[in-house]
Amino acid sequence: MKHRIVVLGAGYAGAFSAGVLARRLHSDDFEITVVNAEPDFAERLRNHQLAAGRQLRRRPLTEVFAGTGIQLRVAQVTGVDVEHRTVTITDGADIDSLAYDTLLYALGSTADVHSVAGVAEHAFHVASRPAALRLRARLAELGANGQVLVVGGNLTAIEAATEIAEAHPDLRVGLVTRGELGGWLSSTARRHLFEAFDRFAITVHEHTTIARVDAAGAVAADGTAFAADATVWAAGFAVPAIAATSGLAVRPDGRITVDRQMRSVSHPDVYVAGDSAFVIGDNGLPLPMSCASAGFTSMQATATIIGDRTGRKVSTTSLSYVGNHISLGRKDAIFQVVDDDARSKSWALRGRAAARLKAAILGVNPWSLRHPTFGMPSRRYRASTDRPHAVVAT
């Protein structure tokens, strides 16, 4: 029988990993199945643009995986049985069970809508394509002087607020954050950030913690009410509960605890990539949930799977950041360079140059899914049964 590799999720981490595995492992020995809830690849980094009204190109996963031999199952993952090595999925009509020999868990994250009262019922978010489209429809309903409140001070919140304000200048946009907006940025970059917020007339409320959300807006812990026709929740991410209920070792937030090679510490036949992984970066700090982490962890996970299953040495991928990239509408952005401890350096690229750089990165991402080996000749390795795990390269 062929060795069965099942990849859960086809976001940035899952789709890239599946493509690499299909091009590096011999099809006579390996069978790769990808399970994803939607038939298209969703560019999560563009969801704030989608919500604000921009039309994005459809990218069917059948096209992304064309010619690779990957089997695509469009279905929702409802459970993982790590003891019997099976995954339960449903397409809404039928329930099926997939058996695996190797599992790559890349289900990612979504907005944390359950930590604060009323968020799940009344707020919008941009952590998924369906959610972004829901917000898009709501913004289209609002008339002149409609009020939009973005809650959060992270990259997603900043990008959502500026994109909405630029695309809908007739709306009044505000942002509430429990800390300092852009407080991690260098002084130069933070000044540029506030200049952009002033240009878009976005009202900022710092050091304010939201205690609940209702149909009329949001209410802070001190009782201050913020009226809003649409409240956009961008105050943190959460991972699906599937891992926690599967028997895998997880952190209190539900992320799967993995070793440096992205293997589950409790079940080494399960590998993890993307936001669902809890791993310590090269600076000794946990990698945050981000697109950059998806890239680092997917490269390491695929290298480890290939090594473990073919007997080759496992190459070590760097788990270190070089900077944070923040869009401020279509024609403005900040690229903040960071040091080895992920602290901002004094220099940052700003303005149109930073916007062009980010646009180029966003343009390359879909191409890299179709060319995960970046045009280099594919070498398909045969399966090895000599060792359960490969030697790690040093």
Examine the domain organization and report whether 50 and 97 are in the same domain. Answer: yes
| pLDDT band (50, 70, 90) for residue 295 | confident
Q: Which residue type occupies 378?
A: S
Q: State whether 95 and 117 are in the same domain.
A: no
Residue 246 has pLDDT above 80, yes or no: yes
Secondary structure (DSSP) of 246-302: HT--B-TTSPEEB-TTSBBSS-TTEEE-GGGEE-B-TTSSBPPSSHHHHHHHHHHHH
Is residue 146 assigned to a domain?
Answer: yes
Residue 270 belongs to domain spanning:
3-109+239-322+359-370
If asked whether residues 251 and 105 sit together in one domain, one would say: yes
Task: Please tell me the pTM assigned to this model.
Answer: 0.92
Same domain (yes/no): 128, 94 = no
Are residues 21 and 118 both part of a single domain? Answer: no
More confident residue, 160 or 368: 160
Question: CA 305 to CA 67: how far, in whole Å?
Answer: 21
Query: Is residue 305 left, alpha or beta, with left meaning phi > 0 and alpha meaning psi from -120 to 50?
Result: alpha
Residue 254 Cα distances to 113, 166, 185, 259, 273, angstroms: 15, 36, 29, 16, 14
Indicate whether 312 belongs to any domain.
Answer: yes
Same domain, 281 and 224: no
Domain's final residue, options 233, 257, 283: 233
Domain count, the chain: 2
The predicted pLDDT at position 376 comes to 62
260 with 298, same domain?
yes
Nearest-angstrom CA–CA distance, 147 and 217: 9
Choice between 273 and 294, residue whose per-residue pLDDT is larger: 273
Instruction: For residues 71 and 36, state if they share a domain.
Output: yes
The answer to whether residue 354 is domain-embedded is no
pLDDT at 152: 96
The model's confidence at residue 103, banded by pLDDT at 50, 70 and 90, is: very high
What does the alpha-carbon distance between residue 149 and residue 193 come to, in Å, rounded to a whole number? Answer: 18
One domain for residues 18 and 81: yes
- CATH assignment of the domain containing 79: 3.50.50.60
Residue 277, pLDDT above cutoff 90: yes
Note whether residue 175 is domain-resident: yes
Residues 225 and 121 both lie in one domain: yes
pLDDT at 391: 44
Please, which pLDDT band fits residue 285 given cuts at 50, 70 and 90?
Answer: confident
* Mean pLDDT to the nearest integer, 83-98: 95
What's the pLDDT tens digit per position in 232-245? 999 989 999 999 99
The DSSP code for 40 is B
Same domain, yes or no: 314 and 285: yes
Both 61 and 87 in one domain: the answer is yes
